[in-house]
Amino acid sequence: MFTIENLRFLDILNIPKLTIDRQITCIVGASGSGKTTLLKMLNKLIVPDEGVILRNGEDLAHMDSVALRRNVVMLGQTPVIYPGTVGDNLQIGRLFSGRIPRPESALRKILREVELEKLPDDRCATLSGGEKQRLCLARVLLMDAETYLLDEPSSALDKKTEEFILEVLIKFVRERGKELIMVTHSPQVAGRFPEARVHIVKGRVEENTAHPEEGNSSGEEGQP
Ligand SMILES: Nc1ncnc2c1ncn2[C@@H]1O[C@H](COP(=O)(O)OP(=O)(O)OP(=O)(O)O)[C@@H](O)[C@H]1O
């Protein structure tokens, strides 16, 4: 759960109050409205100029970034692959978050779950774009974080992979009682979560269906 109060960042975000407290929340809005910036603030990849962000009541400003990112993991718009093998790329997330490596059997299992037909010893250099995305998904699932931040690319070249990643993540989050906050450009996806949809318009919260009192009232100003 996140609570944001009086947040300002450059002329990009201006959010007096925002509560994100459902298991799955969608952030929607036009390109350039500030969705990614907002998401990055939730695990301190960006720090606001003003305002407070609380996670489960604790102020992010007073939290160690590494400790925070152990529990709040972001799957970004472009896959990040490190030199080495598929296995190295899986374990590195655990390493970064101070967790012990998983055994080979767990790596094979997670590769099956994300339907990546590779072995832990395989090299990454020749992976396709979609395979890289699946590998990054497997890496963050293996981190077993509490909160997942998903930034869906606006112009996914491979829509099928994007949909697959989303479905795997939603299932994982539901089965394990995790939290998912996702930026989505798909009206179909956002339509599946009408109870927790945050609509950002020009850096302001136009609507938060979970907390209607937090949205800008009229909807006339700043429509995309
Ligand atoms: N660190 C920064 N400094 C200055 N401007 C920035 C910074 N980060 C983002 N911006 C600008 O802020 C605006 C919002 O960017 P952001 O990536 O948050 O939008 P978005 O809603 O996620 O867009 P998209 O849907 O296209 O991914 C853009 O105009 C972007 O160029």
Task: Give this complex's ipTM.
Answer: 0.94
CB atoms within 10 A of CB 55: 21
In a domain, 9, yes or no: yes
In a domain, 65, yes or no: yes
State the distance from the centre of ligand 1 to the C-alpha of 12, rounded, in angstroms.
Answer: 7
State the distance from the centre of ligand 1 to the C-alpha of 73, rounded, in angstroms.
Answer: 20
Q: Tell how far CA 176 is from the center of its chain.
A: 16
In a domain, 47, yes or no: yes
The answer to whether 14 and 50 are in contact (CB under 8 A) is no
Residues whose CB is less than 8 angstroms from the CB of residue 158 and which lie 6 or more positions away in sequence, other chains included: 129, 130, 133
Q: What is the pLDDT of residue 87?
A: 98
pLDDT in tens, 170-212: 999 999 999 999 999 888 889 999 999 999 999 999 999 999 9
Q: What is the pLDDT of residue 181?
A: 98
Residue 65, pLDDT > 80, answer: yes
Ligand 1, atom 8, residue with closest C-alpha = 37
In a domain, 22, yes or no: yes
Number of separate domains in the chain: 1
Q: What is the pLDDT of residue 161?
A: 86
Alpha-carbon span 7 to 204, nearest angstrom: 10
In a domain, 55, yes or no: yes
Q: How many residues does the chain have?
A: 224
With cut-offs at 50, 70 and 90, classify the pLDDT of residue 219.
very low
With cut-offs at 50, 70 and 90, classify the pLDDT of residue 222.
very low
pLDDT in tens, 98-157: 899 999 999 999 999 999 999 999 999 889 989 999 999 999 999 999 999 999 877 666
Q: What is the pLDDT of residue 187?
A: 86
In a domain, 48, yes or no: yes
Q: What is the pLDDT of residue 156?
A: 63
In a domain, 31, yes or no: yes
Residues whose CB is less than 8 angstroms from the CB of residue 145 and which lie 6 or more positions away in sequence, other chains included: 70, 71, 72, 73, 97, 178
State the distance from the centre of ligand 1 to the C-alpha of 98, rounded, in angstroms.
Answer: 30
**Average pLDDT of every residue of the chain:** 93
In a domain, 193, yes or no: yes
Q: Which residues line ligand 1 (CB under 6 A)?
A: 10, 12, 29, 31-37, 154
Q: What is the pLDDT of residue 217?
A: 54
Domain of residue 186: give its range: 2-80+145-214
With cut-offs at 50, 70 and 90, classify the pLDDT of residue 27.
very high
Which CATH number is 42's domain given?
Answer: 3.40.50.300
Return the ligand 1 atom nearest residue 39 CA. Answer: 18
Ligand 1, atom 13, residue with closest C-alpha = 32
State the distance from the centre of ligand 1 to the C-alpha of 115, rounded, in angstroms.
Answer: 32
